């Protein structure tokens, strides 16, 4: 085509069922490129490895837009499906403005190619009904909000049951579910102290005794194999209430004080 080609990929969530999301999107983009006789090695890819729910700024998306705006002629964007592009009304407007040169925005997007129904390569361009594009992007955003609400509901349910559905902090792991069931101790996934917990506990003791963040980080690295920047030590460990069996859900502000542990009590006393 002679035009610069960009590809954008983004995960929806960080849950296990989304683990294959990025590889699937990559395969979809390769499929589109081959069908359009595009040189895959010439495609500039931008990959958002974190969930859209978690990373509101979408750094890779912003980088791609900055590069698109630098182009001397309109470019081409490839995506597995249009829902990858839509995250919020601001991003939707950014797409429409750059395709239809609205709101004093220079036209820098020639076409957007994606996979439609039946694995057919579909295209949006300036000849496409603008209302259809805007409505589709808005619907994608609405669907995203509904999925977010469902995701939050799932998280709240787990927390209400005493489970911690996120990545455990240093010194803690999830007890193996099959092992837990086999011993008939608890059918829910619980947090369990691992070999690094004694060092994390010592970090709390050092803080209580007035040791500096740098001293604590040096100790954790040297003896516990825990690598944390001294700038993040308070946020990551010292003020992390999960060690005390308490978690505040960020979206709703709900406080859960019954996070369950395999040892029946939190590793750090309140």
Q: Lowest-pLDDT range, 1-10, 21-30, 53-62?
A: 53-62
In the chain, the DSSP E strands lie at 5-10, 44-48, 75-78, 109-115, 121-125, 172-174, 191-193, 247-248, 255-256
What's the pLDDT band for 13 if we cut at 50, 70, 90?
A: low
Does residue 220 register a pLDDT over 90? Answer: yes
**Both tokens assigned to 215:** 């001293």
Residue with the bigger pLDDT between 184 and 139: it is: 139
Place of tokens 């296990």: 16
Does residue 178 register a pLDDT over 50? Answer: no
- With pLDDT > 70 as the criterion, what percentage of the chain qualifies? 89
Residue with the bigger pLDDT between 11 and 46: it is: 46
Contact 92, 138 (CB under 8 A): yes
- With pLDDT > 90 as the criterion, what percentage of the chain qualifies? 63
Residue 215 pLDDT: 96
Residue with the bigger pLDDT between 49 and 107: it is: 107
Residue 182 pLDDT: 43
Contact 154, 122 (CB under 8 A): no
């Amino acid at each position: 085509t002679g035009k610069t080609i960009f590809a954008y990929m983004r995960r929806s969530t960080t849950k296990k069922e989304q683990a294959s999301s990025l590889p699937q999107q990559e395969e979809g983009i390769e499929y589109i490129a081959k069908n359009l006789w595009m040189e895959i090695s010439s495609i500039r890819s931008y990959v958002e490895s974190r969930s859209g729910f978690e990373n509101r700024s979408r750094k890779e998306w912003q980088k791609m837009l900055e590069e698109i705006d630098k182009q001397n002629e309109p470019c081409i964007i490839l995506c597995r499906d249009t829902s990858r592009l839509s995250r919020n009304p601001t991003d939707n407007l950014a797409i429409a403005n750059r395709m239809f040169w609205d709101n004093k925005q220079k036209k820098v997007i020639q076409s957007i190619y994606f996979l439609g129904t039946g694995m057919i390569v579909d295209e949006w361009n300036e000849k496409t009904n603008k209302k259809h594009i805007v409505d589709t992007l808005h619907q994608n955003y609405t669907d995203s909000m509904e999925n977010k609400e469902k995701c939050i509901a799932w998280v709240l349910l787990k927390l209400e049951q005493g489970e911690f559905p996120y990545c455990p902090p240093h010194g803690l792991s999830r007890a193996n579910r099959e092992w837990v069931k086999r011993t008939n101790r608890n059918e829910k996934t619980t947090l369990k102290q691992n070999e690094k917990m004694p060092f994390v506990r010592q970090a709390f003791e050092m803080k209580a005794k007035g040791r500096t963040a740098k001293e604590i980080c040096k100790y954790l690295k040297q003896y516990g194999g825990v690598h944390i920047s001294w700038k993040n030590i308070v946020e990551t460990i010292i003020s992390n209430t999960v060690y005390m069996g308490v978690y505040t859900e960020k979206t709703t502000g709900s406080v859960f004080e019954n996070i369950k542990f395999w040892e029946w009590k939190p590793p750090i006393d309140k």
